[in-house]
Amino acid sequence: MVNQRVVEAINRQINSELSASYSYLAMSSWCERQKFTGAARWLRLQSQEEYLHAMKLLDFLLARDCSVELDAIEGPTMAFTSLLDVFERGLAQEQEVSKQIDTLYETAFTQKAFAAVAELQWFLTEQVEEEKTGREIVAKFRLIGNDPPSILDMDRELGARTAIEVAADAKAGN
Ligand SMILES: [Fe+2]
Ligand SMILES: [Fe+2]
């Protein structure tokens, strides 16, 4: 049996991953309405990726025969001022999730829940990648400022993200 404190912490993390998914969906919708269809596509895929993170934790709890508690998901921010604003918020969200994963890992470790520790290692690595990607996109938007052709270029670049990439990530996480 997995320690109850660890089970509760994983349940909280499931909520947090679903909140992140919801929040990226809000960002995607805003971008689509502004006709930034590339960014909208990137963010929709990111939303799906966060959903898969939640499923990975959920499946872990189920595999360990632990109780699942699905809490209400808070409504995300729907209004943004620019693509830079969107991706800055996305990065801030990733940084927050990294802190949560660190705390969760510490809880699992101190409770000697070693199967959970092994499972959470994947999330530690994933957060390094998520923050790196987020920082790169934010840096590019800061650099191009309000130059419309460059913004459109970036939108096109973001739109090149493929669904297969997400599928491969999910598979790697199995
Ligand atoms: Fe995540
Ligand atoms: Fe993420």
| Residue 149 alpha carbon to ligand 1 centre in Å | 32
- Is 173's pLDDT higher than 70? no
Contacts of the segment 102-107: beta carbons below 8 A, 24+ positions apart: 103/9, 104/9, 104/10, 104/12, 104/13, 107/5, 107/6, 107/9
Percentage of the chain lying above the pLDDT 90 cut = 91
Tens digits of residue pLDDT in 117-156:
999 999 999 999 999 999 999 999 999 999 999 999 999 9
| Residue 21 alpha carbon to ligand 1 centre in Å | 8
Whether this model's pTM surpasses 0.75: yes
CB-CB contact of 91 with 131 (8 Å): yes
Question: Rounded distance, CA 100 to CA 116, Å?
Answer: 15
| Residue 154 alpha carbon to ligand 1 centre in Å | 23
One-letter amino acid of 60: F
- Is 165's pLDDT higher than 90? no
DSSP 130: H
- Other C-beta atoms closer than 10 Å to the C-beta of 33 total 9
CB-CB contact of 146 with 154 (8 Å): no
| Residue 94 alpha carbon to ligand 2 centre in Å | 5
| Residue 54 alpha carbon to ligand 1 centre in Å | 7
Tens digits of residue pLDDT in 82-118:
999 999 999 999 999 999 999 999 999 999 999 999 9
Of all helices (H) and strands (E), which one includes residue 35?
none
- Is 164's pLDDT higher than 70? no
| Residue 50 alpha carbon to ligand 2 centre in Å | 6
| Residue 148 alpha carbon to ligand 1 centre in Å | 31
